[in-house]
Every structure is written in C-alpha cells, then in structure tokens.
C-alpha cells in the first residue's frame, strides 16, 4: 500500500537505522507514524468508492501524497542536521579543553612524582584524575566536568607554586630570566626601543598568568621570537661583514694608516673594535664604544657612510693622478725633453715600481707631485720673461681702452677661456692663485689671443676714445678752474698766469661743445655698426653723456666788471634765456647783423705806488666758492686740439708797458658769442716799479649777444699820491681814442645750452 511504501521510504531511503538508538527520534517516529497511516486509510477508502472517477483525480491525489511525503522527509532531515551541528560544537569544545589541559600539564611538567612532598596535593590530584565523571558518554556533562577540572588544576598549580622548594623555584626563575634577558638583548641590538613600542605590554605583562610572575606558558613564544630576531641579526651581521671588507680594502688602497689622522679611519677602527673584528682590540675601549653605538642598524649605516667617504676620496685621488700624469706629459712636450733624457728615464723607473694609476696609491701621488713641481720650476725659468712681457702689453691695452679695475683679472680670463675649451678636462684642477701656474704655453696663447682682440677693438675705438679722454680732461680742468677762480689770492701772482687762464677759457669755450656734438654722432654710429655699447671704464659713455650732472660751469669763462659802489648790480639769479638786446647799468651792448658792434671803453684808475700790497679783507670775491669735485681717472693733461696763440699776444712785454711813474693798463679785445659765461680776473701789473693792483669783480651775465668790447686804459694817468685811498674801478662808455688799440671781430654760432660753441677770430693791427 501507499502508506506502507511511505514507511518503507522513511526507513530505507532516509537511513534512520543509525539514529534509532536516539530516544528523541523514536518518540518523534511513534508520533508521526499513526498520522501517516490514518492519512493513508482515508485515501484508500476514497479510491474504493470511486472506481469510475476520472483517472486525473487519482493522479492528483497521488501527487499530493508524494508532496506530503517529501515535506515530512525534509523536515526530519533538517532537524537531524541541527542536532548534528550542536553535537559537533560540543565535541570541538571538549577537544579544545583537553588540548589546553594537556598543554598546561606538559608545559609545567606536572607529574605525580612532584606531589610526593605534599600528601594533600597528591590526594587531590589523584581524586581528580580517577574521577568516574571523565568516563560519562554525555557531552554536556563531560564539558562541565572539564571546566571544573581546569579550575581545580589551576588551584593545584597555585598550591604547587606556594609549596615548591626554593631551590627549584630559583632555578625556574633563573631560566626564565635568562630567556627574557636574551630577548631584550636582541631587541637592543636590532634597535627596537621597547619604551616606544606598542608590543611592550605583550613582552612584559602578558606573561603573568595564574600567579606566576613570568609564566612558562609563553616560553615557546619567546623562543620563537628569539629565533626570528636571531635570523634578522645574522642577516645584518652578514651585511656588516661585507661592508667591513669593502671598507678595509678601500682603507688599504688609500694607505690611510701611513697618513695623518683621518676622521673616517678613526671611526672605522672604533666600529671594528665594537664588533670585535680586530685582533688587537682593547676591552676597555670596546666597552666604551658599545655604550656609544646603540644598535647594529646604526653600525651598518655608519660603515656604509664611511665607504661612501672612502669612495669619494678614491675617486678624487684617481682624478688627481690622471691630471698629474697628463700635466707631466704636456710639460715634457713644452720643455722639449726627449724620451731618452736621463731625468725622464729615472722617473719612469720609479713609477714602474709603484702601483698602477688605477689604484689610488699615496706614494704614486707623492712621486707625481714631486716630478710636477720639478717641471714647473723649469717652465718658470723658460716662460717667465715671455709671460711678464705679454702681460705688460695686456695691461697697457687695458689702460688705453679704459677698462675698469674689477675687469682686469687675468685669473678670470684664463678660467673663462678654459671653461669654453672642451678639449681641456683639467681646468678645474689648475690653481691660478699660485703665480707659478701662469708660466706655460697655454697661458701665453690665451694672452696672445686676448691681446689680438683688444688691439682690434682699440683700432675701431681709438679716434673716438681720444675725443672722450679729451672731453673728460676738459671737464676735470674746468672743475679745477672753478675752484681756483673763487680764490682772491690768485691776483697776487704773475700776470702771465692770468693770460694763460684767459687762453684756457677761450680754448675750452670753443672746443668743448664741438667735442660733445661730434661724440654724440660718432658714438651713435659706432654702436650701430658694432651692435654693442661704447664703454668707458665699464659704463656706456653715450648714456653717461645723457645723464651726467657735473658739467663745466661756463659762467666762469666770461669777465663781468662792476664797481664796488654798486653792489646792487651784482645779481645771484640764475641764467636767463637768450635775447637780442641786453642792457646793464655799467655796460651797454647792442647787436646788429649788419652794423658794426658798439664799442665800450673801460677807464681804470691805478692805485698809488706806495701801496704795493692789499689785505685780503679789502678784496671782494668775485665768484662764489665752488667745492672740490672728483676728477676723472685721467689726470694727465693732453695737448690742446686748437692752435696756440702767437708769442706776441702771450708775451707780457707786448701787452703791458711798465713805468714806475705812469703804469699802463693794456688794451684788451674780447669777442663773445651767445654763451652763458662766467667772468674771470684781469691781469695786474706786477713789475718792480710797484704798479697798482686791479681786483677782479665778476658776476654771472644774464645774456650776451655778439658784441665786440674794447678795454682801453688811460694812456696818461697822474702819479698817485700815497695819501689817497683805493679808487674804485670806473666803467664808463666812451668813444675809441686815437691811441693804438687792438680790435677784434668775432663771429658766433648759436648752440644749445648744453653744448655751447664759440668760434672767435682775432686780427691784430
């Protein structure tokens, strides 16, 4: 029947046989089996009463019956699986407890033999081991019993710790301390700082268990940690040994033991003493070094740093050896020393006995240095005269081209030339601070090349440069003249000097503006042609001309005479613009392009002969005092570019007539163009006859037009009496007299205020 088949399926297909021993399964089966039989009977009755029904309905009932059978089977299987999982969890828990108990017993070496000294502890332990509860088949009861056993076992451990022999306890503690000390030592050697490490609690406090200060439970873990640290230490020591070998090899190659004390060498010796790698180490020094060095990592880094220093030293020495060998070969060629020369052969024999150039031997460097010094002295004897001669030529060109002092550096010239030369690889090694290194062919060639370039530059600049120097000399002399013009004592000297000053004023008044105009044009053309600035002592002279503020004061080049009685006529106002007509209370001048110039006569009355000298208080200064200004670098006075005056005009005998009774004042003619000029003094009669002196009174003229003024002295002057006071200078306009005078005609070219230009032509009758 279907119901029997259901029972058979539940028994055979679900494999209930090995669960029948469980009372829970049996109870569950007894409860569900009647219900299945009842359900099967109902279905059977329905099939008997309805044989003629449609087969489709029977199929539906059969499917429902099978679905019910399937659901019941799945439900039972789920329940079985849940119970099985619970059973597995309990079994695993029991197994873990047993493992933990066995581990504790084995790690602490607990055996019944240790309890013979205490009958109470032995009895408790035997009772615990022989308990019948350990043989119960119930898992829950077994687990509970194991938990109790674990607690009781810990209590036994506590009693054992409290009642152990002191000697055994001390031995155990000593062993634990030894392992712990070894661990701390490895931490220190590897540079692990426990004060900052998060693992400090794990190392120090997590070992305290069940009343034991340092439990043996963690000994295995500590030993594993020690083994791991020892592997790391061995790896570091291998690297240290390799680095030590490299450092010692470099030390031997560099021959540091034979040299003066070396910091890296001393540090290496200290490290080797710390590691006890040297055979002759001292115990006291070693212990001292151990305190200075914290960890093996620091030792490794220190040795690597020393190796880098030794390698740099080696590279520097190899480069020095190579440079010296090349330098010696060049010196042999420059000195024309043949290969079979005795000195050269001896040097070759000595060099063959030493290590090759690939090894940075100190003895090889000393030999090369000695030979190089010997050849350098020979070069000095051969090239010194040529060098000094060429260097003097170079300095002369520097002076002619007005090159500033900070650019006259032969060392910089050689370094710049060598840096631009790709074929010379030893330029950085040449010490040009030593004079002896200049005596070679290379230096002479560089100087020759520079001399050639400067000569070409001088050829293109010479004409302009001469004008520049001439202009700067005029500026310098004009500044000196401005200073001397304000000194009243200048009239006490010879009249020849005053005439020379007058010539100087005329010369520079005519020459300076021409120079300035020509230079502006020529400098612009030169810079446009050469595509660079025309430099004068390191500065562009064209820009210097445009920005210069210290220019000659041409107000001092013109003489304006006023009387002492008219101080209000002396004006301190600055120059005014040019005008066609100017008037003065003392001098009237008119200008006309067609008519002849108006002539003004200045009558000067001489002082008595009995008063040969005047005090400085009676002399009124005619020009303001000008502070001394710095002069240009060229102090040498060049020859004037203008033609010198004739000797007749410069001779004092032709200009002055000296008489002890009737001194004469020479008749002077002066042509002035539209210039801003300053007055100067008029020469005095300094003959032995004791003629009177004429003070110089001058002030800035506002504007001067093309005018010809004739200064005539009174040919007949009464002999002055000693009792008379000093007579003022009387300036009165008068007509020309029949006495012989010197007239002059002048022409002027109007220029700007910055570049005045005057052209004067004097015709002597």
56, 90, 105 - which closes a domain: 105
Q: What are phi and psi of 505, to 5 degrees?
A: -60, -45
- Dihedral angle of Cα 72, 73, 74, 78, to the nearest 10 degrees: 100
Query: Rounded to whole angstroms, how far apart are CA atoms 60 and 68?
Result: 12
Residue 607: which residues within 8 A CB-CB, separation 6 or more?
Answer: 692, 693, 720, 726, 727
Indicate if the pLDDT at residue 459 is higher than 80. yes
Q: What is the pLDDT of residue 23?
A: 64
Query: Rounded to whole angstroms, how far apart are CA atoms 287 and 273?
Result: 9
Residue at 46 is within a domain: yes
Query: Rounded to whole angstroms, how far apart are CA atoms 392 and 720?
Result: 66
Query: Rounded to whole angstroms, how far apart are CA atoms 470 and 460?
Result: 17
In eight-state DSSP terms, residue 730 is: P
Query: Rounded to whole angstroms, how far apart are CA atoms 729 and 682?
Result: 12
What whole-number percentage of the chain has pLDDT above 70? 47
> Per residue in 513-562, pLDDT tens?
888 889 999 999 999 998 989 988 888 888 888 887 666 555 444 433 33
Q: What is the pLDDT of residue 418?
A: 65
What does pTM read for this prediction?
0.38
Q: From start to end of 497-656, where are the E strands?
A: 535-536, 539-540, 582-583, 588-589
Query: Rounded to whole angstroms, how far apart are CA atoms 289 and 293?
Result: 6
Residue 469's alpha-carbon distances to 335, 476, 631, in angstroms, are 44, 10, 12
59, 87, 105 - which closes a domain: 105
Tokens found for residue 440: 């070679």
Residue 604's alpha-carbon distances to 492, 663, 716, 730, 732, in angstroms, are 18, 11, 11, 6, 9
Query: Rounded to whole angstroms, how far apart are CA atoms 730 and 564?
Result: 10
Query: What is the number of domains present in the chain?
Result: 2
| 686 touches 612 (CB < 8 A) | no
> Per residue in 421-441, pLDDT tens?
544 444 445 666 666 777 888
> Per residue in 346-365, pLDDT tens?
998 988 888 888 888 888 89
Query: Rounded to whole angstroms, how far apart are CA atoms 650 and 496?
Result: 8
Query: Rounded to whole angstroms, how far apart are CA atoms 191 and 173?
Result: 27
Q: What is the pLDDT of residue 167?
A: 52
| C-alpha closest to that of 552 among 490, 507, 518, 589 | 507
| 321 touches 360 (CB < 8 A) | yes
Residue at 131 is within a domain: no
User: How buried is residue 485: exposed, middle or buried, by Cβ count under 10 Å (0-12/13-18/19+)?
Assistant: buried
Q: Which of 146-150, 303-307, 649-653 has the lowest mean pLDDT?
A: 649-653
Query: Rounded to whole angstroms, how far apart are CA atoms 622 and 487?
Result: 9
Residue whose pair of structure tokens reads 């790896």 in the numeric block: 235
Query: Rounded to whole angstroms, how far apart are CA atoms 641 and 64?
Result: 143
Q: What range does the domain containing 14 cover?
A: 2-105
Indicate if the pLDDT at residue 645 is higher than 80. no
| 319 touches 360 (CB < 8 A) | no
Give the residue, 473 or 672, on which the prediction is more confident: 473
> Per residue in 377-388, pLDDT tens?
888 888 888 888
Give the residue, 321 or 95, on which the prediction is more confident: 321
Query: Rounded to whole angstroms, how far apart are CA atoms 667 and 602?
Result: 10
Query: Rounded to whole angstroms, how far apart are CA atoms 734 and 713?
Result: 11
| C-alpha closest to that of 670 among 535, 509, 543 | 509
Residue at 398 is within a domain: no
105, 124, 143 - which closes a domain: 105
SS3 annotation, 319-333:
HHHHHHHHHHHHHHH
Going by pLDDT thresholds of 50, 70 and 90, the confidence category of residue 107 is low
In the three-class reduction of DSSP (H, G, I as helix; E, B as strand; rest coil), residue 744 is classed as coil
Q: How many CA atoms lie within 13 A of 67 on its CB side?
A: 6
In eight-state DSSP terms, residue 589 is: E
Q: What is the pLDDT of residue 526?
A: 92
Residue at 33 is within a domain: yes
| 521 touches 639 (CB < 8 A) | no
- Helix (H) or strand (E) holding 166, with range, is helix 166-189
In 9-54, alpha helices (H): 23-49
Give the residue, 115 or 121, on which the prediction is more confident: 121
Query: Cβ–Cβ contacts within 10 Å for residue 210, how many?
Result: 14
Residue at 320 is within a domain: no
Give the residue, 400 or 163, on which the prediction is more confident: 400
Residue at 603 is within a domain: yes
Residue at 314 is within a domain: no
Indicate if the pLDDT at residue 495 is higher than 60. yes
In the three-class reduction of DSSP (H, G, I as helix; E, B as strand; rest coil), residue 604 is classed as coil
Quote the Cα angle for 337-343-345, to 5°.
95
Query: Rounded to whole angstroms, how far apart are CA atoms 568 and 576?
Result: 18
Strand 588-589 relative to strand 745-748: parallel, antiparallel, unpaired? unpaired
Residue 125's alpha-carbon distances to 111, 113, 212, 309, in angstroms, are 10, 11, 20, 70
Residue at 337 is within a domain: no
Query: Cβ–Cβ contacts within 10 Å for residue 584, how many?
Result: 14
Q: What is the pLDDT of residue 525?
A: 92
Query: Rounded to whole angstroms, how far apart are CA atoms 84 and 94?
Result: 15
In the three-class reduction of DSSP (H, G, I as helix; E, B as strand; rest coil), residue 672 is classed as strand
């Amino acid at each position: 029947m279907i119901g029997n088949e259901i029972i058979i399926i539940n028994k055979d297909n679900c494999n209930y046989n090995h669960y029948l021993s469980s009372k829970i399964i049996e109870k569950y089966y007894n409860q569900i089996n009647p219900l299945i039989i009842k359900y099967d009977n109902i279905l059977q009755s329905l099939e008997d009463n309805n044989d003629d029904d449609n087969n489709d309905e029977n199929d539906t009932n059969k499917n429902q019956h099978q679905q019910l059978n399937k659901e019941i089977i799945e439900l039972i299987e789920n329940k079985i699986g849940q119970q099985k999982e619970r059973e597995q969890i309990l079994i695993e828990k029991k197994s873990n407890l047993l493992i933990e108990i066995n581990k504790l017993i084995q790690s602490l070496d607990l055996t019944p033999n240790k309890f013979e000294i205490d009958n109470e502890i032995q009895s408790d332990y035997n009772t615990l081991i022989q308990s019948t509860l350990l043989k119960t088949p119930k898992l829950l009861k077994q687990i509970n019993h194991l938990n109790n056993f674990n607690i009781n076992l810990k209590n036994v451990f506590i009693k054992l710790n409290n009642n152990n022999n002191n000697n055994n306890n001390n031995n155990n503690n000593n062993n634990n301390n030894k392992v712990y000390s070894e661990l701390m030592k490895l931490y220190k050697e590897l540079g692990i700082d426990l004060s900052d490490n998060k693992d400090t609690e794990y190392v120090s406090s997590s070992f305290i268990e069940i009343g034991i200060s340092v439990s043996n439970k963690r000994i295995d873990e500590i030993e594993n940690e020690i083994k791991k640290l020892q592997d790391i230490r061995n790896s570091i020591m291998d690297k240290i040994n390799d680095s030590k070998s490299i450092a010692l090899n470099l030390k031997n190659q560099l021959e540091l033991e034979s040299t003066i004390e070396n910091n890296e060498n001393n540090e290496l010796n200290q490290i080797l003493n710390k590691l006890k790698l040297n055979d002759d180490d001292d115990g006291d020094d070693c212990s001292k070094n151990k305190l200075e060095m914290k960890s093996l990592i620091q030792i490794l880094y220190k040795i690597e740093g020393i190796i880098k220093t030794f390698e740099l030293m080696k590279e520097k020495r190899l480069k020095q050896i190579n440079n010296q060998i090349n330098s010696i070969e060049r010196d042999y060629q420059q000195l024309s020393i043949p290969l079979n020369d005795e000195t050269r052969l001896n040097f070759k024999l000595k060099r063959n006995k030493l290590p090759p150039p690939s090894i940075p031997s100190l003895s090889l460097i000393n030999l090369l240095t000695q030979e190089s010094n010997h050849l350098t002295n020979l070069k000095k004897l051969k090239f010194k005269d040529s060098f000094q001669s060429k260097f003097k030529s170079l300095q002369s060109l520097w002076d002619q081209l007005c090159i500033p002092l900070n650019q006259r550096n032969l060392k910089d010239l050689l370094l710049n030339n060598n840096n631009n030369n790709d074929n010379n690889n030893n330029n950085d090694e040449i010490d040009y601070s030593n004079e002896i290194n200049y005596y070679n062919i290379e230096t002479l060639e560089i100087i020759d090349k520079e001399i050639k370039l400067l000569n070409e530059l001088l050829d293109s600049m010479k004409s302009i440069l001469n004008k520049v120097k001439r202009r700067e000399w005029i500026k310098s002399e004009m500044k000196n003249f401005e200073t001397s013009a304000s000194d009243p004592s200048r009239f006490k000297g010879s009249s020849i000097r005053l005439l020379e000053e007058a010539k100087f004023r005329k010369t520079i008044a005519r020459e300076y503006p021409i120079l300035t105009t020509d230079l502006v044009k020529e400098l612009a053309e030169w810079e446009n042609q050469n595509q660079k600035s025309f430099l004068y002592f390191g500065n562009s002279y064209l820009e210097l001309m445009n920005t210069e503020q210290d220019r000659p004061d041409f107000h001092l080049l013109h003489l304006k005479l006023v009387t002492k009685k008219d101080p209000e006529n002396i004006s301190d106002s600055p120059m005014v613009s040019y005008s066609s007509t100017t008037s003065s209370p003392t001098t009237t001048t008119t200008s006309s392009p067609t008519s002849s110039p108006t002539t003004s006569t200045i009558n000067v009355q001489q002082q008595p002969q009995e008063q040969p000298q005047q005090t400085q208080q009676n002399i009124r200064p005619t020009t303001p005092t000008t502070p001394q200004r710095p002069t240009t670098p060229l102090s040498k006075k060049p020859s004037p570019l203008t033609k010198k005056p004739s000797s007749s005009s410069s001779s004092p005998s032709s200009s002055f007539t000296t008489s002890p009774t009737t001194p004469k004042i020479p008749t002077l003619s002066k042509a002035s163009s539209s210039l801003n000029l300053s007055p100067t003094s008029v020469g005095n009669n300094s003959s032995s006859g004791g003629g009177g002196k004429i003070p110089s009174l001058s002030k800035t003229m506002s504007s001067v037009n093309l005018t010809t003024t004739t200064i005539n002295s009174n040919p007949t002057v009464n002999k002055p009496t000693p009792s008379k006071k000093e007579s003022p200078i009387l300036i009165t306009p008068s007509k020309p007299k029949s006495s012989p005078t010197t007239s002059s005609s002048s022409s002027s070219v109007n220029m700007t205020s910055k570049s005045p230009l005057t052209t004067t032509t004097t015709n002597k009758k």
